[in-house]
């Protein structure tokens, strides 16, 4: 369920680091807690985002939730799919429904994040 | 220390179904089972069942039951026949809402009120206080706070009648909209009312609390989809039905809420009448309006509303409308702006997003 090569946060986001690029998303647990997702608000390419700081929001039928960045970086791609099909976040939060890709500006932040096993223990899975 | 949440007789059934439970006004209630969108669609296209046992029931009995009910509510209960129900308001003297209620006439001397869950004790106290005047009984009627005795299960959706009919000898088709009959469902004594809070055809079933689990299980076994309060809210919002604490509260009058139709000025005096007459004569300052989001964003409960860039009102309820594929809401606007086609903006996380005033209800079922 939770890919081993991703790193996780207590706010239920994940990051996959490949070279100096980080792909960011929300976890399966997060989408499950939110329920049916109907709207995703994301930054534009070129925006700077900061670790543990909100950079967007996800809305379910019932509620709005802030998304916190697992890493500091500069946005180099935004998943356009989510503007028209936000429900993909419920279906495939660890894959097709990634949120943004960033250029990692502080790779030294990565070891401070949780492993898949730590995250599963954290959420009691 | 967290206060203990109240539970309906179906609490364990919800947990067993894997429901997501939330604190709803002090009650531990299912917000959803499988998902709000699926449950919403089940009600619009087939039939869903809701545990609404948290709702309160107040029984008024006695030779002057009608006089008391008519004095404490805005609609004209004298117009009701045995087995008929209507929507009404319970007001303070200043014209604001104590609650919105359903009044059922069981007989000339017995009225059965369905009231909001978190208001039931307040409503009971309010009605009691008007039963007496200067220490003397003013109306020859007894008021019973009967909530704990009852469970209530709502069966809603176009297939409700077909689903329910095999469980009862009562001819359901003969019960018209906003009428009710006492009968048996699944062999259990049930008050069967053709009412609801979803904008669909359906029934609200009042049973003894100890029979709730059996009735619930029978309904599920026939294929009714269990639905939570999340879908109940999206359904009633599409139908533009008021929710206490959102569209209406102690600071809002029925005239402002677009509920003038439940205020009968021509009947004998009632609590709040003088204040409403004064408000009507002076003209309303604000009115409840429907809106549709035009820009990207969802206007939600409490968000600020702008007109011509200036703060002008607030969203009382807002969110996605699954049937309509739009983001909709209700808001209070000054009377001059309360017209369909009026451009407004809803402030979504500091950003004004375009919206437009539209007629309500947003959704109306095909007859």
pLDDT at A125 over 80: no
In angstroms, the separation between the Cα of residue B359 and the nearest Cα of chain A is 22
Place of tokens 């209620």: B101
Q: Which residue of A has its CA nearest to B37?
A: A36
Residues 18-77 of chain A whose Cβ lies under 8 A from any Cβ of chain B: 35-36, 38-39, 41, 57, 59-62, 64
Dump pLDDT digits (tens) for A66-116: 999 999 999 999 999 999 999 999 999 999 999 999 999 999 999 999 999
Model confidence at B234, in pLDDT bands (50, 70, 90)?
very high
pLDDT value at position B136? 85
CB pairs under 8 A between A and B: 36
Give the pLDDT confidence of B307-358 residue by residue, as tens digits.
999 999 999 999 999 999 999 999 999 999 999 999 999 999 999 999 999 9
B300 contacts in chain A (CB < 8 Å): 64
Region at B141 (left for phi over 0; alpha for psi -120 to 50; beta for the rest): beta
Tens digit of pLDDT for each residue in B157-171?
Answer: 999 999 999 999 999
Q: Which of B230, B233, B320 sits opposite A38 (nearest CB)?
A: B320
- DSSP, collapsed to helix, strand or coil, labels residue B20 as strand
pLDDT of residue A32: 93
Q: Model confidence over A36-69: pLDDT tens digits?
A: 999 999 999 999 999 999 999 999 998 899 999 9
- Give the pLDDT score at B260: 97
Q: How far is A80 from chain B (nearest CA, A)?
A: 14
The Cα–Cα gap between A19 and B33 comes to 42
Contacts of B107 (CB under 8 A, 6+ apart): B82
Nearest by CB to A61, from B296, B297, B319: name it.
B319
Per-residue pLDDT at B132: 86
- Helix, strand, coil tally for chain B in percent (to 5): 25, 35, 35
The residue in chain B having the minimum alpha-carbon distance to the alpha carbon of residue A31 is B35
DSSP string, B146-170: -GGGEEEEEEESTTHHHHHGGG-SS
Say what the pLDDT of residue B85 is: 98
Write down the pLDDT at residue B133.
81
Give the one of A36, A41, A83 whose C-beta lies nearest to B36's C-beta.
A36
Q: How far is residue A29 from each of residues A81, A93, B273, B286, B309, measured CA to CA in Å?
A: 21, 9, 53, 43, 40
Shortest Cα distance, chain B CAs vs residue A56, angstroms: 10
pLDDT digits (tens, 9 = 90+) for B93-146: 999 999 999 999 999 999 999 999 999 999 999 999 999 888 888 999 999 999
Report pLDDT for B37.
97
Inter-chain contact B36–A35, Cβ cutoff 8 Å?
yes
Whole-structure pTM over 0.90, yes or no?
A: yes
pLDDT computed for residue B96 by the predictor: 98
pLDDT digits (tens, 9 = 90+) for B145-196: 999 999 999 999 999 999 999 999 999 999 999 999 999 999 999 999 999 9
What are the tens digits of pLDDT across the range B44-98?
A: 999 999 999 999 999 999 999 999 999 999 999 999 999 999 999 999 999 999 9
pLDDT value at B367 more than 80: no
User: Pairing relation of β-strands B150-156 and B142-145?
Assistant: unpaired
pLDDT of B1 strictly over 70: no
pLDDT for res B2 = 56
What is the mean predicted confidence (pLDDT) over B242-266? 98
CB contact under 8 A, B300 and A38: no
| Nearest-by-CA chain B residue for A84 | B296
**What burial class does residue A110 get, using C-beta atoms within 10 Å of its C-beta: 0-12 exposed, 13-18 middle, 19+ buried?**
middle
Contact A118, A111 (CB under 8 A): no
Name B343's bridge partners: B356
Element containing residue B57 per DSSP (H, E):
strand B56-61
């Amino acid at each position: 369920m939770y890919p081993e090569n991703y790193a996780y946060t207590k706010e239920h986001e994940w990051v996959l680091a490949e070279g100096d690029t980080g792909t960011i998303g929300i976890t399966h647990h997060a989408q499950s807690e939110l329920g049916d997702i109907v709207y995703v608000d994301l930054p534009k390419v070129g925006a700077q985002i900061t670790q543990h700081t909100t950079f967007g929001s996800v809305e379910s039928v019932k509620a709005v939730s802030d998304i916190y960045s697992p890493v500091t970086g500069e946005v180099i791609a935004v998943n356009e799919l989510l503007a028209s099909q936000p429900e993909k976040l419920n279906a495939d939060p660890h894959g097709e429904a990634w949120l943004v890709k960033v250029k990692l500006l502080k790779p030294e932040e990565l070891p401070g994040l949780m492993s898949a096993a730590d995250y599963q223990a954290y959420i009691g899975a | 220390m967290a206060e203990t949440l109240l539970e309906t007789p179906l609490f364990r059934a919800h947990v067993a179904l894997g429901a997501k439970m939330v604190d709803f006004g002090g009650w531990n209630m299912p917000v959803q089972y499988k998902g709000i969108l699926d449950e919403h669609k089940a009600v619009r296209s087939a039939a869903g069942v809701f545990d609404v046992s948290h709702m309160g029931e107040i029984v008024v009995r006695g030779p002057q039951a009608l006089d008391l009910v008519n004095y404490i509510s805005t609609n004209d209960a004298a117009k009701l026949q045995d087995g008929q129900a209507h929507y009404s308001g319970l007001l303070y003297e200043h014209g604001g809402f104590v609650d919105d209620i359903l009044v059922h006439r069981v007989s000339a001397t017995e009225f059965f009120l369905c009231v909001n869950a978190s208001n039931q004790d307040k409503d009971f106290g309010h009605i009691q206080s008007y039963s007496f005047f200067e220490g003397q009984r003013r109306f020859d009627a007894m008021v019973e706070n009967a909530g704990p005795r009852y469970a209530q299960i709502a069966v809603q959706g176009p297939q409700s009648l077909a689903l329910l009919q095999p469980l009862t000898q009562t001819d359901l088709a003969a019960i018209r909209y906003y009428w009710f009959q006492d009968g048996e469902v699944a062999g259990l004594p049930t008050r069967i009312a053709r009412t609801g809070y979803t904008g669909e055809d359906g029934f609200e079933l009042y049973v003894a609390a100890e029979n709730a689990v059996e009735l619930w299980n029978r309904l599920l076994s026939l294929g009714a989809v269990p639905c939570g309060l999340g879908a109940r809210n999206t359904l009633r919002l599409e139908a533009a039905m008021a929710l206490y604490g959102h569209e209406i509260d102690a600071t809002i009058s029925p005239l402002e809420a677009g509920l003038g139709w439940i205020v009968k000025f021509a009947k004998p005096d009632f609590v709040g009448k003088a204040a409403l007459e004064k408000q009507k004569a002076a003209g309303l300052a604000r009115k409840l309006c429907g809106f549709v989001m035009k820009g990207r964003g969802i206007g939600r409960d409490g968000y600020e509303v702008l007109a011509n860039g200036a703060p002008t009102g607030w969203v009382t309820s807002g969110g996605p409308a699954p049937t309509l594929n739009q983001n909709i809401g209700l808001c209070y606007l000054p009377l001059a702006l309360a017209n369909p086609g009026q451009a407004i903006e809803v402030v979504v996380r500091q950003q004004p997003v375009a919206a437009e005033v539209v007629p309500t209800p947003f959704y109306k079922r095909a007859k």
